[in-house]
Amino acid sequence: MSDTTLAPSGLDERAGTWTCILFDLDGTITDSAPGITGTLVDTFVELGRPVPTPVELLAYVGPPLLDAFRALGGMSVEEAQAALEVYRRRYNAGGLFDSSLYPGVPEVLARIAEAGVPLSLATSKPESAARRILEHYGLAQYFTVICGASEDEVRSAKADVVEEALRRLRELDVDLSTPVMVGDREHDVHGAAAHGIPTIMVEWGYGSPAEAAGTVAVVSGAEELATLLLP
């Protein structure tokens, strides 16, 4: 898709009027698939389980991993928890920074911050890891709030992460009257919608076209995204 696709929701009239913007991380800011899928391969090997195909591994990128191990890996609750512990150990040791920034996205974040619009990260990646990644790439400075999954995974569903991000923004007296979410998977769309927040989907991530259902726009480039976000 080469042009911005808008849903008939008056988004063109709201563009540039957002009072705060929430961003997903994996597949939206960073192409983190190499580090995540590579670590997943190592995890399955260590556990003595069959390694999923490359296409199957990509489905793990985005949703909470504890849920993915159960839904995609067919694991029990206990097995999924054990797999998550192995994954985190290996990911923090080597896969965390095996990623790259999507072209133009850092510049968009900088322009949003310069325009004075509060930014919040809202990712199902553990918050400590997300913060390290943003700091590694010099992006943490642009965010008013950095919110991710809790280490115990009690807060990992995107709706719960968004709720916590909004709570922290509210504590900072941020205007929450017109928020918007930017993400690449249906989990972003549904998690934001649970709080009445519209989502702009980016095509450069890991979501399929079908996952764009319910979004207010789909964009194929960073400049298109900036047009919908900035005054």
Instruction: Kindly report each contact of residues 92-98 with a partner whose C-beta sits within 8 Å and lies 24 or more positions away, as own/partner.
Output: 92/129, 94/35, 94/39, 95/34, 95/35, 95/36, 95/38, 95/39, 96/35, 96/129, 96/132, 96/133, 97/35, 97/133, 97/136, 98/32, 98/34, 98/35, 98/38
pLDDT at 63: 85
In a structure prediction context, what are the per-residue pLDDT tens digits for the chain, which is 231 residues long? 333 444 434 565 677 799 999 999 999 999 999 999 999 999 999 999 999 999 999 999 988 899 999 999 999 999 999 999 999 999 999 899 999 999 999 999 999 999 999 999 999 999 999 999 999 999 999 999 999 999 887 888 999 999 999 999 999 999 999 999 999 999 999 999 999 999 999 999 999 999 999 999 999 999 999 999 998
Active-site pick, 3, 24, 67, 184: 24
DSSP lists the bridge partners of residue 219 as: 202
Distance CA 16, CA 18 (A): 6
pLDDT at 4: 42
Which residues, 6+ apart, have CB-to-CB distance to 8 below 8 Å? none
Query: What is the torsional sign of CA 99, 105, 110, 115?
Result: negative
pLDDT at 1: 34
Distance CA 49, CA 225 (A): 40
Q: What is the set of domains in the chain, with CATH numbers?
A: 5-31+100-229 (3.40.50.1000), 33-95 (1.10.150.240)
Contact between 35 and 96 under an 8 Å Cβ cutoff? The reply is yes
160 is catalytic: no
